[in-house]
Amino acid sequence: MSQNDNLSQKADGKQEENDRQKDLLENSIVETSENAQKAPKEDNIQTGKEDEAVVAGDNKKKEVAEDASTTHEDAIVTEKTNVENAEDSIVDVDDAAEAGLENKELNVVSETSNKKDKEISIPKKDYTKMNPEGLIIELRQMMQEYPINSFRDEAESIKKEFEKQDQAQEKADKVAFDKANPPSDDLLAPEFQYDDKLRKEFNDLHRLYRKQKGEYQREKRKQEEKNLEVKREVIEKMKALIDEEENIGTTFKKFHELQDIWKATGNIPHDAYNITWEDYRLAVQNFYDYIDLSKELRDKDFERNLEFKKKIIARAVELNDEENIHKALRELQELHRMWKEDAGPVARELRDPIWDEFSAATKAIHDRRQAYYEEREKEAEKNQTIKENIVAEIKKITAAGANSHKEWQERLEEINVLKELFQKTGRAPKAVNNEIWEGYRNATRDFNRAKNNFYKEIKKEQQKNLEAKMKLVEIAEEHQDSENFAEGLEIMKRIQAEWKTIGHVPRKDSDKIWKRFKKACNAFFDKKSAQRNKDSKEETANYEAKLKIYDKLKTLIPDGDQDAMKESIENVMEEWNKVGRVPYSKRQIQDKFEKLVKAKFKAAGLSEEDAEMMKYQNKLNRLEDGSERDFKNERFYLKKRREEIKNEMIQLENNLQFINAKDDKNPFLVQQRKNIANLEKELSVIKEKQKQINILERQVNKEDEVSETKESTES
């Protein structure tokens, strides 16, 4: 129903003609009352009893006995009782608020109805086919071309569509950002930020729309206050008509003029509506009680009111086919207001049927509303289950936690999916909606707190790793120019292996310290490689020389003189030791030479132990010219071998306990005892070697002390 007052005007197709007839009837009443002040009137309603007489200049009731069932006073009282006792299924604050109405607008005439304006028709458009720029332009044009209160639904639809497209664009930008910036261990890596100019422009425009709408509401309230004053003044003037002494035609004309003023006056504040309406209805009733209308005029008024109410009922029936239940409820609300305020009483026998017909149309829409809310409640319960499961899943992920950056990124992706699903899921029932939202917010907050605590610990650990690697960098830089390649090589290998065991460092420092460490290591190895290339020719020559010495040793044949044989072997050993280092790939010649030396000493008549010690003398000669590290390595080897021999002897002796010791011919027993004897001999040799190396080390240290003392004295 687009125009409430238009409906009022259409209640009678010949409104102006009826008004003229009404005025003629009123004048007729005045003329009749002047010529026959006490002439009886025919009652056309039910029984034909006499009405009260009307005297010119005095329209007060005369004390005349009448049948209560036939008077217009009873008709008005009955009409008032029916209206008061009628149940208006639309006036429900909570339900109307659910339908999108503001509480303060309930039972209040729409802005356009009382002002007799034409309903503003806004062309329907498909906002889903507009891009964000088009949506902004559309909202701005509406704000410029239409009243600020006339496109609430359109503004809301534009806002929802813009937010939908904006969120989709933000998600697409996030995907592109993640693709361009893959996850890393750097806590200072760039983070995604969505700063869209269109979003800011739309939010500013929508804020302006809300501001203007708020200003409109304030102005509307002011106007409603003024309208309230006008309507209260109308009520007071209606009350005063009873006390005025003038002819009935003039009084009745003033009464209708006041009714027209009442209908033409716009909305009043909601909190004053009910009491003001009751005052107005009581004033009208009192006036009708006081003024005894002629049956003809009254019946004409009943007929006009009946036509008007039938039009209201017809429109209520049409509303049952309205797809938008909220729109149907709002318009039905206005129809109830018109039924109360704009439509007067009808004939007594039609009052209940006409009201029942209107109530039936109202109930049909009310039933649709109930079905709508029941279905929405079921959907809300389903949403409650979904949201509760989402909150439980977030808590489960938080409790499980993660142990690495990669795992936390995977958990974060899972949380983002759950958050998006939660936001897309509709509202839960009112009773639990706030509770579920609070649980969701706490669950996401707990997850973020756990994730942040992990990265705080990672940051501390990375700082420790940085300090550890910086120490290795300093060691590498300290030894990059070392001339002692053997020692330097050992150090470089050690710190490189240690570097690999240290975890990640902050990304901003990672490349910088790695380049320093790599540069120092490369400098050392480049220098070592250069020196090795330089010495390669000399080492090859040494190898050739040692081959000749080796061949020379092979030619030595015992001739019966053991001392001469030992002396010859020792001379060859001395000659061998004078030759420098051989290529690394040829180092096995040293082992072959020592084995040959031992074999020659045995051939010269020395025992196994003596031959071994004579061979070992060759190694001692080399250690004398070696480094302190060489002494440490040899001592470590001897100590380790000594422990191994002891353990083997203990094991063999334990095995003997399980064998019958009286059976000397047992092959296993014989072999075990032989093995123990061999180990005892080797142990004796090891002890002698340890003794000799200790003696040699003391001699070397003493010589070094003497040399240092001499140098300090000379300086």
Q: What are the pLDDT digits (tens) for 132-179?
A: 999 999 999 989 988 988 888 899 999 999 999 999 888 888 888 888
Sorting pLDDT into bands at 50, 70 and 90, what band is 378? confident
Question: Beta partners for 55?
Answer: 58
Q: Is the pLDDT of residue 225 over 70?
A: yes
CA angle in degrees (0–180, nearest 5) for 188-191-193: 150
- Average pLDDT of the chain is 75
CA distance 45 to 693: 146
pLDDT value of residue 633: 77
pLDDT value of residue 186: 66
**Three-state DSSP class for 286?**
helix
Of the listed ranges 504-508, 529-533, 703-707, the one predicted with least confidence: 703-707
The two three-digit tokens of residue 687, written as one number: 């002890």
pLDDT value of residue 660: 58
CA distance 506 to 184: 11
Q: Which of 262, 265, 253 is nearest to 114 (CA)?
A: 265
* Non-local CB neighbours of 190 within 8 Å, separated by 6+ positions: 181
Sorting pLDDT into bands at 50, 70 and 90, what band is 71? very low
Q: How far is CA 46 from CA 31, 42, 49, 177, in A?
A: 26, 10, 8, 87
Please write the tens of the pLDDT for every residue from 404-458: 888 888 889 988 999 999 888 888 888 888 888 999 999 999 989 888 888 888 8
Q: Is the pLDDT of residue 392 over 90?
A: yes
* Non-local CB neighbours of 369 within 8 Å, separated by 6+ positions: 95, 99, 325, 329
Please write the tens of the pLDDT for every residue from 633-646: 777 878 888 888 88
Q: Is the pLDDT of residue 226 over 50?
A: yes
Alpha helices in 480-625 (DSSP H): 485-501, 507-555, 562-578, 589-603, 608-624
Sorting pLDDT into bands at 50, 70 and 90, what band is 84? very low
Query: How many percent of the chain have pLDDT more than 90?
Result: 13
Q: Locate tokens 């902004």: which residue?
A: 136
pLDDT value of residue 430: 84
**Three-state DSSP class for 662?**
coil
Please write the tens of the pLDDT for every residue from 584-623: 777 788 888 878 877 877 777 776 666 677 767 767 776 6
Sorting pLDDT into bands at 50, 70 and 90, what band is 93? very low
Please write the tens of the pLDDT for every residue from 680-693: 777 877 787 777 77
Alpha helices in 428-506 (DSSP H): 430-479, 485-501
